[in-house]
A and B are shown apart, each in its own frame.
Chain A
Amino acid sequence: MIETSADSAQPLPGDFAIWIFIFAELVVFGVLFAAYAFARSSHVDVFNASQLTLNRAYGFADTLILVTSSYSVARATLSIKAGSSTACGHWLAGALGLGGLFLVLKSVEFHQDLAQGITLSTNLFYMFYLALTFFHFMHVVMGMAILAVVDYKAYAGRYSAENYTGVETGGSYWHMVDLVWIILFALVYVIH
Chain B
Amino acid sequence: MKYPSQQVAKPYFIAALALFVGQIVFGLIAGLQYLHGTFLFPELPFDVAHMSHTNLLIVWLLMAFMGAAYFIVPEEAQTELYSPRLALVTFWVFLIAAALTIVAYLFVPYAQLAAITGNAALPTMGRGYLEQPLPTKIGIVLVALSLLFNVTMTLIKGRKTSINLILVGSLWGLALLFLPAFYFPHDTVKASFGWWWIVHGWVEGDWELILGALLGFILIKMTGVDREIVEKWLYIIVAMTLISGIIGIGHHYYYTGAPSYWIWLGSIFSALEPIPFILLIVFSFKMLMQRRREHPNKAAMLWALGTPVMAFLGAGLWGFMITLAPAQYYIHGTNFTAAHGHLAFFGAYAMVSLAIISYAMPLLRGRTANSAAAQRWEMAGFWIMVFSMIGITLALTGAGIVTVFLQRAADDPMGFMQAQDKARVFFWVREFAGVAFFIGLLVYLRSFFIAGEYEYADEMKQALAA
Name the one of B232, B236, B259, B275 contacting A27, with C-beta atoms under 8 angstroms.
Answer: B275
Q: Are A4 and B226 in contact (CB under 8 A)?
A: yes
- Enumerate chain B residues within 8 angstroms of A15, measured Cβ to Cβ: 232
Name the one of B232, B244, B264, B290 contacting A39, with C-beta atoms under 8 angstroms.
Answer: B264
Q: Are B268 and A32 in contact (CB under 8 A)?
A: yes
User: Is A141 an interface position by the 8 A CB rule?
Assistant: no
**Given contacts A120-B261, A124-B264, are A2 and B243 in contact (CB under 8 A)?**
no
**Given contacts A20-B236, A21-B236, A28-B243, are A4 and B275 in contact (CB under 8 A)?**
no
How does the 8 Å CB contact mask read for A100-138 relative to B, with 1 for contact and 0 for none?
A: 000000000000000000001100100110010000000
- Enumerate chain A residues within 8 angstroms of B259, measured Cβ to Cβ: 120-121
Q: Are A4 and B243 in contact (CB under 8 A)?
A: no
Report the Cα distance A32→B228, complex, angstroms.
Answer: 32
Closest B residue to A20 by CB, please name it.
B236
Query: In this complex, which of B264, B279, B290 has the most chain A Cβ atoms within 10 angstroms of its Cβ?
Result: B264
Q: Are B229 and A24 in contact (CB under 8 A)?
A: no
User: Is B103 an interface position by the 8 A CB rule?
Assistant: no
User: Is A161 an interface position by the 8 A CB rule?
Assistant: no
Name the one of A17, A39, A120, A131 contacting B236, with C-beta atoms under 8 angstroms.
Answer: A17
Q: Among residues 19 to 38 in chain A, which have CB atoms less than 8 Å away from a CB atom of chain B?
A: 20-21, 24-25, 27-28, 31-32, 35
User: Is A1 an interface position by the 8 A CB rule?
Assistant: yes
Q: Among residues 251 to 268 in chain B, which have CB atoms less than 8 Å away from a CB atom of chain A?
A: 259-261, 264-265, 267-268
**Given contacts A17-B232, A24-B279, A120-B259, are A35 and B244 in contact (CB under 8 A)?**
no
Name the one of A1, A25, A131 contacting B265, with C-beta atoms under 8 angstroms.
Answer: A131
Q: Are B229 and A2 in contact (CB under 8 A)?
A: yes
- Enumerate chain B residues within 8 angstroms of A31, measured Cβ to Cβ: 268, 271-272
User: Is B414 an interface position by the 8 A CB rule?
Assistant: no
User: Is B286 an interface position by the 8 A CB rule?
Assistant: yes
Name the one of B232, B239, B261, B264 contacting A35, with C-beta atoms under 8 angstroms.
Answer: B264
Q: Among residues 215 to 232 in chain B, which have CB atoms less than 8 Å away from a CB atom of chain A?
A: 226, 228-229, 232
A46 to chain B, nearest CB (A): 14
A2 to chain B, nearest CB (A): 5
Closest B residue to A127 by CB, please name it.
B261
- Enumerate chain B residues within 8 angstroms of A128, measured Cβ to Cβ: 264
B277 to chain A, nearest CB (A): 12
Q: Are A127 and B236 in contact (CB under 8 A)?
A: no
Report the Cα distance A31→B264, complex, angstroms.
Answer: 12
Q: Are B233 and A2 in contact (CB under 8 A)?
A: yes
Query: In this complex, which of B233, B261, B267 has the most chain A Cβ atoms within 10 angstroms of its Cβ?
Result: B261
Closest A residue to B240 by CB, please name it.
A24
Query: In this complex, which of A15, A17, A24, A120 has the most chain B Cβ atoms within 10 angstroms of its Cβ?
Result: A24
Closest A residue to B276 by CB, please name it.
A24
- Enumerate chain A residues within 8 angstroms of B271, measured Cβ to Cβ: 31
- Enumerate chain B residues within 8 angstroms of A131, measured Cβ to Cβ: 261, 264-265
Q: Are A17 and B286 in contact (CB under 8 A)?
A: no
Report the Cα distance A79→B286, complex, angstroms.
Answer: 35
Closest B residue to A39 by CB, please name it.
B264
- Enumerate chain A residues within 8 angstroms of B233, measured Cβ to Cβ: 2, 17
B224 to chain A, nearest CB (A): 15
Closest B residue to A5 by CB, please name it.
B228
- Enumerate chain A residues within 8 angstroms of B265, measured Cβ to Cβ: 127, 131
Closest A residue to B229 by CB, please name it.
A2
Report the Cα distance A21→B241, complex, angstroms.
Answer: 12
Report the Cα distance A2→B236, complex, angstroms.
Answer: 12
Q: Are A4 and B268 in contact (CB under 8 A)?
A: no
A163 to chain B, nearest CB (A): 15
B228 to chain A, nearest CB (A): 6
Q: Are A24 and B236 in contact (CB under 8 A)?
A: yes
Query: In this complex, which of A1, A2, A28, A31 has the most chain B Cβ atoms within 10 angstroms of its Cβ?
Result: A2
Q: Are A127 and B264 in contact (CB under 8 A)?
A: yes
- Enumerate chain B residues within 8 angstroms of A120, measured Cβ to Cβ: 259, 261
Report the Cα distance A106→B205, complex, angstroms.
Answer: 29
Closest A residue to B259 by CB, please name it.
A121
Q: Are A121 and B260 in contact (CB under 8 A)?
A: yes
How does the 8 Å CB contact mask read for B286-305 relative to A, with 1 for contact and 0 for none?
A: 10001000000000000000
B435 to chain A, nearest CB (A): 41
How does the 8 Å CB contact mask read for A157-177 relative to B, with 1 for contact and 0 for none?
A: 000000000000000000000
Report the Cα distance A28→B268, complex, angstroms.
Answer: 9
Query: In this complex, which of B236, B260, B265 has the most chain A Cβ atoms within 10 angstroms of its Cβ?
Result: B236
Closest A residue to B268 by CB, please name it.
A35
Closest B residue to A135 by CB, please name it.
B247
Q: Which 3 A-B pairs have the closest CB atoms?
A: A17-B232, A120-B261, A127-B261
- B interface vs A, CB < 8 Å? 226, 228-229, 232-233, 236, 239-240, 243-244, 259-261, 264-265, 267-268, 271-272, 275, 279, 286, 290
Contacts A/B (CB < 8 Å), 12 sampled:
A1-B286, A17-B232, A17-B233, A17-B236, A21-B239, A24-B236, A25-B243, A28-B275, A31-B272, A39-B264, A120-B261, A121-B260
Starting from the known contacts A2-B232, A28-B275, A31-B272, 12 additional A-B residue pairs (CB-CB under 8 Å) come to A2-B229, A2-B286, A4-B228, A17-B236, A20-B279, A21-B239, A24-B275, A27-B275, A31-B271, A32-B268, A127-B265, A131-B261
